[in-house]
């Protein structure tokens, strides 16, 4: 692990330094290491820092805790993402208060072209379950990444349906990656990882799922997506917090309407009535509002016809890229089972045939 990580984790441990102050400090000093090496008077001059926060930085002594976290990251192959890293969720980075550091386990891209948050009550009805399942199945036509909070109820329905329809899904946690809450979702979390999804959190290991962590988790769900869909919710609760956060981030919010006498639809109806959410009846409504193409992905028959014109190596690359939004060349080398020269040749030929496009960072995606 780079030495920078020690300073990055330590920055999240300094008392009185939250995401907003961390961003101010990094923008001024350039990186986390420079912050800890700065003089107290230089820290105090930064707007929003002052004497108390400057003293907290200068007197910081939590290095052993940061080192323990690095050991945990290395042991479980977790990817730390400082908010300046290229793989950090770009949509989230542009929010006012993005997490200073994220911990990610999984392979689903955090910057996929289409990302939708689907949230709702833990105490779902059959109506809500059906709405969530139908929406996710319809979103498969748009190759959408489904994001939710791995909670009971609607969150779980969204994740499970995404897995059944082969859509990438990401669970955002309100605790560290050393545990799964609720405990009954341990199998679901494992399936998400096995099917190239991901688990994401801003909380380091041994952080319990305390009540005040859930609103912080919800801002990640809202901030990393193009839009948030509220399927079913009471007038109060985590889903309403997520919807209001998304609205505050100037993201699209949608809600399914329900009966005026149904408490489980009261929150959705309120969001629509107050013009904080657009009325949603299907994935087509969502696609139209977001300007997504309305045609589904090519049918398998079309894909097979394309494959007949490609070499075996090229077909292997195309199949891998069909499974993911984009892949880096090192991932293609590892997952294809081909030699580096075979992968390079296949990529060149596919690019010349306009089957795929090269992206920054030696990444590739299908056209």
Tokens standing for 331?
């991932």
- Close Cβ partners of 215 (under 8 Å, ≥ 6 residues apart): 238, 241, 245
**Structural domain boundaries in the chain:** 1-73, 106-290, 300-366
Closest among 154, 155, 157, 136 to 145, alpha carbons compared: 136
pLDDT of residue 304: 38
3-state secondary structure of 81: strand
Q: Give me the mean pLDDT over the 313-328 stretch.
A: 83
pLDDT given at position 2: 54
Dist. CA 200–CA 191, nearest whole Å? 15
Pick the CATH number of 106-290 from 3.30.390.30, 3.40.50.450, 3.40.50.300, 2.40.30.170: 3.40.50.450
Least confidently predicted of 153-157, 192-196, 321-325, 345-349: 321-325
For 120, which DSSP code? -
Q: What is the mean pLDDT of residues 19-28?
A: 95
The residue that leads in pLDDT, 324 or 28, is 28
Asked if 158 contacts 146 with a C-beta cutoff of 8 angstroms, the reply is yes
Q: What is the mean pLDDT of the chain?
A: 91
Q: Parallel, antiparallel, or unpaired for β 198-201 and 169-172?
A: parallel
* pTM, to two decimals: 0.79
Does the pLDDT at position 303 exceed 50?
A: no
Segment 30-49, tens digit of pLDDT? 999 999 999 999 999 998 89
Average pLDDT of span 115-130: 96
- Residue 307: the pLDDT is 46
Calculate mean pLDDT across residues 222-229: 97
Domain 300-366 grouped into CATH 3.40.50.720 = no
257 has pLDDT over 50: yes
Task: Express each pLDDT in 125-178 by its tens digit.
Answer: 999 999 999 999 999 999 999 999 999 999 999 999 999 999 999 999 999 999
| Average pLDDT, integer, range 113-117 | 96
Q: Is the pLDDT of residue 305 over 50?
A: no
Residues 6+ apart with CB under 8 A from 269: 255, 257, 258, 260
User: Residue 361's pLDDT is what?
Assistant: 72
The rounded percent of the chain whose pLDDT value lies above 90 is 76
- What is the pLDDT, as a whole number, of residue 353? 76
Q: What is the pLDDT of residue 1?
A: 45
Report the SS3 class of residue 230: strand
CATH of domain 1-73: 1.10.150.20
The whole-angstrom distance between residue 225's C-alpha and the CA centroid of its chain comes to 7
Q: How many CB atoms lie within 10 A of CB 334?
A: 12
């Amino acid at each position: 692990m780079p030495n920078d990580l020690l300073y990055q984790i330590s920055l999240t441990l300094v008392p009185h330094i939250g995401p907003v102050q961390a961003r101010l400090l990094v923008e001024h000093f350039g990186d986390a290491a420079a912050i800890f090496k700065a003089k107290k008077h230089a820290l105090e001059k930064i707007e929003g820092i002052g004497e108390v926060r400057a003293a907290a930085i200068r007197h910081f002594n939590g290095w052993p805790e940061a080192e323990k976290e690095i050991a945990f990251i290395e042991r479980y192959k977790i990817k730390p993402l400082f908010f300046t890293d290229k793989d950090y969720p770009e949509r989230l980075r542009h929010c006012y208060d993005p997490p200073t550091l994220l911990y990610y386990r999984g392979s689903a891209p955090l910057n996929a072209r289409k990302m939708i948050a689907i949230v709702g009550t833990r105490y779902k009805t059959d109506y809500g379950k059906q709405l969530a399942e139908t929406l996710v199945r319809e979103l498969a036509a748009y190759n959408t990444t489904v994001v939710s909070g791995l909670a009971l109820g609607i969150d779980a329905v969204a994740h499970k349906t995404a897995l059944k329809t082969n859509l990438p899904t990401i669970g955002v946690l309100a605790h560290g990656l050393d545990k799964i809450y609720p405990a009954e979702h341990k199998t679901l979390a494992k399936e998400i990882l096995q099917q190239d999804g991901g688990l994401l959190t801003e909380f380091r290991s041994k952080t319990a799922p305390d009540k005040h962590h859930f609103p912080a988790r919800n801002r990640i769900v809202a901030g990393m997506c193009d839009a948030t869909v509220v399927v079913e919710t009471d007038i109060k609760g985590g889903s309403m917090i997520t919807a209001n956060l998304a609205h505050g981030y100037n993201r699209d919010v949608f809600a399914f309407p329900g009966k005026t006498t149904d408490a489980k639809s009261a929150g959705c109806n309120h969001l629509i009535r107050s013009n904080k959410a657009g009325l949603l009846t299907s994935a087509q409504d969502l696609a139209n509002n977001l300007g997504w193409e309305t045609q589904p992905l090519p049918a398998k028959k079309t894909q097979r016809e394309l494959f007949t014109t490609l070499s075996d190596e090229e077909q292997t690359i195309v199949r891998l890229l069909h499974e993911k939004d984009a892949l880096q060349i090192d991932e293609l080398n590892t997952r294809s089972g081909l030699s580096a020269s075979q992968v390079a040749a296949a990529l060149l030929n596919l690019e010349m045939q306009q089957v795929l496009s090269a992206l920054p960072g030696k990444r590739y995606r299908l056209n």
